[in-house]
Amino acid sequence: MQANACTCIATMKSIKKITLTILVVALTLISAFSLFACNEQDDEDVVRDLYIYAVEFEGDETQNSPSGEAVISDDSSENGGESGENTGESSEENGGEQPSEKVAIIYVTFSKTDRKLEGCSAVWHSEKRKDGAFYNVSETTVTLAPNSIFSAVKESVPQEDLVHNDVQYNRLKVVLRYDTIYKSIKSNGEITREGRKYVHKYALDQSLESDVFTLEMRTQNAASWYGTLLGCAVAAMLVAIGVTFALKGVKWQKTKTKE
């Protein structure tokens, strides 16, 4: 009888230790799940200002302006002196090719610099959708006004900044630049890598009143993962208790047989 009592006490202690261990794990998972759930609130639309990041210069371009580029008119073209458009004559009729026009690329960004574009901002809107049971896709749309941005850039960038190697650059190309350290972020822009950063470049079209730059990121659905881990922890606890009872039962049977 005394042996059986000792066996029961030992069994209860083992079950208690297993239960407490798994309970701590379960509470940890529940706390993490609750914290994540609090951070999963829907993001409101955010308005962010634009800043000039840098000015770069391209090589020669033809006279036909590519989409998204703005021409800075000079006095001669306005007065019609040598312009084929104003005289009604083509370059061939003038006896030669028209001069090429240089392109200056103005990069704008949401990161603060000392050159803010006054009156220019963009609206950030984020949404999240499920991608299977264990993943989410976060999509952010950035709504811009390219025509307003071009106007602000022309006012903010002085003419001397558009001179490179004694050459006046008379076309502007405005490109939105977005830097991130996350490789998993995709966008509808051109993506390149610079050191540890991934740079997204999106050319703006001056003829558009509104345009959308999109960012997309696939992330783990923490709620599903934590729920699965919690379920596994409970299942493991039940299995451990069952195994403990079974082993102690076999030992008790052997002890009783010997008696």
- Does residue 130 belong to any structural domain of this protein? no
Whether residues 33 and 56 fall in one domain: no
Task: Evaluate if residue 70 carries a pLDDT over 60.
Answer: no
Question: How many domains is the chain partitioned into structurally?
Answer: 2
CB 154 within 8 A of CB 69: no
Whether residues 99 and 147 fall in one domain: yes
Question: How far from 100 is each of 68, 125, 170, CA to CA, in Å?
Answer: 18, 41, 10
Look up residue 123 and give its two tokens: 């609206």
- Does residue 137 belong to any structural domain of this protein? no
CA distance 185 to 139: 10
Q: What's the pLDDT at 216?
A: 93
Task: Evaluate if residue 101 carries a pLDDT over 60.
Answer: yes
Q: Say whether 158 sits in a helix, a strand or coil.
A: coil
CB 117 within 8 A of CB 51: yes
Whether residues 19 and 55 fall in one domain: no
CA distance 23 to 14: 14
Q: What's the pLDDT at 214?
A: 96
Whether residues 72 and 166 fall in one domain: yes
Whether residues 7 and 115 fall in one domain: no
CA distance 127 to 141: 9
Whether residues 58 and 74 fall in one domain: yes
Whether residues 114 and 228 fall in one domain: no
- Does residue 76 belong to any structural domain of this protein? yes
Backbone dihedral angles phi then psi of residue 41, each to the nearest 5 degrees: -65, 145
Q: Which of 16-20, 35-39, 94-98, 165-169 has the lowest mean pLDDT?
A: 94-98
- In this prediction the pTM is 0.60
Whether residues 33 and 150 fall in one domain: no
- Does residue 50 belong to any structural domain of this protein? yes
Greatest mean pLDDT among 30-34, 60-64, 188-192: 188-192
- Does residue 155 belong to any structural domain of this protein? yes
Whether residues 31 and 62 fall in one domain: no
Domain that holds residue 8: 2-38+224-258
Look up residue 239 and give its two tokens: 């299995």
Type of residue numbered 98: Q
Instruction: Determine the angle formed by the axes of helices 222-258 and 2-38, rounding to 10 degrees.
Output: 180
Q: What's the pLDDT at 175?
A: 97
Task: Characterize the bridge pairing of strands 171-180 and 101-109.
Answer: parallel
Whether residues 32 and 152 fall in one domain: no
Greatest mean pLDDT among 39-53, 92-106, 139-153: 139-153
- Mean of the per-residue pLDDT values of the chain: 74
- Does residue 134 belong to any structural domain of this protein? no
Nearest Cα residue to 29 out of 238, 242, 234: 234
Q: Which of 92-101, 108-117, 143-152 has the lowest mean pLDDT?
A: 92-101
Whether residues 191 and 112 fall in one domain: yes
Question: How far from 238 is each of 26, 47, 246, CA to CA, in Å?
Answer: 13, 52, 12
- Does residue 27 belong to any structural domain of this protein? yes
H or E stretch including 232?
A: helix 222-258
CB 214 within 8 A of CB 178: no
Q: Angle CA(86)–CA(87)–CA(88) in degrees, nearest 5?
A: 95
Whether residues 26 and 115 fall in one domain: no
Q: Summarize pLDDT for 142-154 with one digit per residue, the tens.
A: 999 999 999 999 9
- Does residue 135 belong to any structural domain of this protein? no
Q: Return all residues near 177 (Cβ < 8 A) that are at least 6 apart.
A: 53, 107, 108, 109, 199, 200, 201
* pLDDT mean over 151-165: 90
CB 177 within 8 A of CB 168: no
